[in-house]
Amino acid sequence: MKSDPKYTVRVLSTEAKAALTALEKEYTAPVKEEKKAVRRADKTNAAHYSTGAVAAALTSTVMMPETTHEPAVLSDDVVRYSLVKKKGYVQLATTHGNLNLELYCNLVPKTCNNFISLCQKGYYKGTKFHRSIRNFILQGGDPTGTGKGGESIWGKPFKDEMKPNLVHQGRGVLSMANEGPNTNGSQFFITYRSCRHLDNKHTVFGKLVGGLETLAAIEAIETDNKDRPIEDIFIRDTVVFVDPFQEVDEQLKKERQQKPPEEPVAKPQQPLKTFHSGIGKYIDPALCKEGSPEESVNKKQKLVADAQFKDFSTW
């Protein structure tokens, strides 16, 4: 059969036959990878710097030639968080009263976005505050109730957002619980008093603005030898009053729906008029004629300073 690759081969050595047989058994055709859709920058996510493709193509022979500069595309989080200028407000309805929280969305947007999103999902509903240490903190946010569970809205730990002006100073400071640097999930704690030794170790992202009597009632509950409250303290519901991230999403959606301004239509160029053939055929000979001689300019008389001394009696 002419379709057989071995049709034109007359003689094969034993080694060649063995190699071809092994190749037929082991060879698998490469899978064609689907080309990912190239994400283009628009007016909302365009960076002030380029992708660097032109420079890479110029200095490296392995890169595809590229002659057009394109702005780099900023991630959605970078665009969203840069537009957040307001604070958020959330209420935790517990079995012992309400805790009203103010969130610093404009300062630590990623942490606040995680907390607000979990509240909107109802992630904290039915969870309990599993740890309470008098004159220290009240900790919760773990669905397992063990202090070892819980995850962020992204399904993995996220980085700390330390700010020098956000410290554990005073009663009612809202901060993230973690197992070490950059291990934030869903657990949080509220301080009963100042805990400055926790600064630069835990991300402060809000404070208690209503429900101090509720916090005092919870602090008064007795605990066991593992700092677990003897009386269960559950979060019945979570209510988000102000969500700056939703407002930013709506703003970006409106901006992207707006039509870009139409570019002015270039006027068609008229063909140049030729006056003669050869060099300078587009130059009008009438413009090359000599004009009338200009009138002579009166020379300015040069003033000569009088260098003679005179009578100084009038001085």
In tens, the pLDDT along 192-225 reads: 999 999 999 999 999 999 999 999 999 999 999 9
CB-CB contact of 164 with 253 (8 Å) = no
The whole-angstrom separation of Cα 207 and Cα 89 is 10
Structure tokens at 14: 């034993």
Looking at this protein, which amino acid is placed at residue 167?
V
From 20, 198, 212, 252, the catalytic residue: 198
Catalytic residue among 45, 202, 208, 245: 202
Of 80, 96, 130, 131, the active-site residue reads 131
Catalytic residue of the set 115, 158, 189, 245: 189
Q: Yes or no: say if 93 and 238 are a contact pair by the CB < 8 Å rule.
A: yes
- pLDDT tens digit sequence for 235-268: 999 999 999 999 999 998 888 888 666 666 666 7
Is 129 designated active site? Answer: no
Give pLDDT, residue 92: 97
Q: How many CB atoms lie within 10 A of CB 50?
A: 14
308 is catalytic: no
Kindly list the domain boundaries of the chain, sorted by start residue.
Answer: 45-74, 84-253
Q: Computed from CA positions of residues 67, 68, 73, 79, in that sequence, does the dihedral angle turn out positive or negative? A: positive
Phi-psi region for residue 290, left (φ > 0), alpha (ψ -120 to 50) or beta?
beta
Fold of domain 84-253: Cyclophilin (2.40.100)
Residue 136 known to be catalytic: yes
229 in Cβ contact with 129 (< 8 Å)? yes
The pLDDT value recorded for residue 115 is: 97
Q: Which of 98, 106, 178, 200 is catalytic?
A: 178
**Which residue out of 20, 106, 134, 136 is catalytically annotated?**
136
Q: Which of 113, 139, 184, 187 is catalytic?
A: 139
Residue 178 is among the residues annotated as catalytic for this protein:
yes
Are 51 and 71 in contact by the 8 Å Cβ rule? The answer is yes
Residue 219 vs residues 35, 48, 215: alpha-carbon distances, Å: 58, 51, 6
Q: Which H/E stretch holds residue 48?
A: strand 46-50
Residue 289 has pLDDT above 80, yes or no: no
Is 96 one of the annotated active-site residues of the chain?
no
pLDDT digits (tens, 9 = 90+) for 79-133: 899 999 999 999 999 999 999 999 999 999 999 999 999 999 999 999 999 999 9
Please tell me the predicted confidence (pLDDT) of residue 170.
96
